[in-house]
Amino acid sequence: MKSEVSILIPTYNHVCVEMVQELSTQALQVEGLAFEVLVGDDGSTNRESILKNRRINTFAHCHYIENTINLGRAAIRNQLAKMARYRWLLFVDSDMTICSTQFLKQYLDADPSLSVICGGYKVIGDNAHYKSNLRYRYESKSGKKRELDQRQKSPYQHFSTANFMISRNVMLAHPFDSRLKEYGYEDVLLGKTLQENQVAMAHIHNPVGFEDFEENEDFLKKTEEGIRTLKSFQQDLQGYSRLLGIVHFMERIHLDTIYTILFRSMRAYWRKNLCSASPSLMLFQLYKIGYYFSS
């Protein structure tokens, strides 16, 4: 069993006091474990969430780090890794839910010869409540791709920042790409870097729960931001993005120009559907392709 761990939680406009309480409770129950919980606030603009998260500083071994500027999803994780004291780093996104009382112990008991261990995540939102939510529909439809057997088939392509443990030495040697300032693909690029450097990685069944789904319009804006990132880093991400494979195929057979014309004429209609109470996942895929060509 691993004897020390730094639990690192990047957050932005999200209250994660409950998550910190749960993880610190689990850590205290492991005899002889040296641990800390570091919450890195990436320049939150929501004053209420900042004030509530300051309570984290009252918990033993827990610290809430406030950044006054937004560093970005890659840089805030690198900052936390540098600040961490212990050999093993456990990254968990603040908008996830700890589903198991054995969550931390499963990571501590995992094969110590592995430098990276990915626990995965699962959708736990109520279908009746979220059925009109585009993010919920998208994540639910993609659920089979996140199952353990699928992740094990191509471990580096299925690397996710939502929930993973990594050796601090490996993290410092192969940090997140700080060129990434906007949303998206920092996990994909790190997975590629780890594969290129032959860093031992494994996936286990130790998921966190995902039940915090933004409104449709907000998710669509976040998706557009991610597509802009994908386009900017397309050479780096070649072979690691299904969307990139589709658009490059369309370019090779000269469908990109006509599709761009179609998208521009249909964009408002497609967007209206995607922001409605009955968003279409098929239109969501078509929208992403068109936005890539038009951005």
pLDDT tens per residue, range 217-254: 999 999 999 999 999 999 999 888 999 999 999 999 99
Q: In DSSP terms, which residues pair with 209 in a beta bridge?
A: 97, 122
Q: Is the pLDDT of residue 101 over 80?
A: yes
Look at residue 142 in the predicted model and tell me its pLDDT.
87
Look at residue 212 in the predicted model and tell me its pLDDT.
86
Residues 54 and 51: their CA atoms lie apart, in Å, by 5
Mean pLDDT: which of 83-87, 144-148, 229-233 is highest?
83-87
Burial label, 113 (beta-carbon count in 10 A; 0-12, 13-18, 19+): exposed
| Selected residue with higher pLDDT from 146 and 266 | 266
Residues 253 and 29: their CA atoms lie apart, in Å, by 59
Q: Confidence class of residue 34 from pLDDT cuts 50, 70 and 90?
A: very high
The answer to whether the beta carbons of residues 115 and 159 sit under 8 Å apart is: no
Mean pLDDT of the chain: 94
pLDDT tens per residue, range 3-29: 999 999 999 999 999 999 999 999 999
pLDDT tens per residue, range 178-200: 888 778 899 999 999 999 999 99
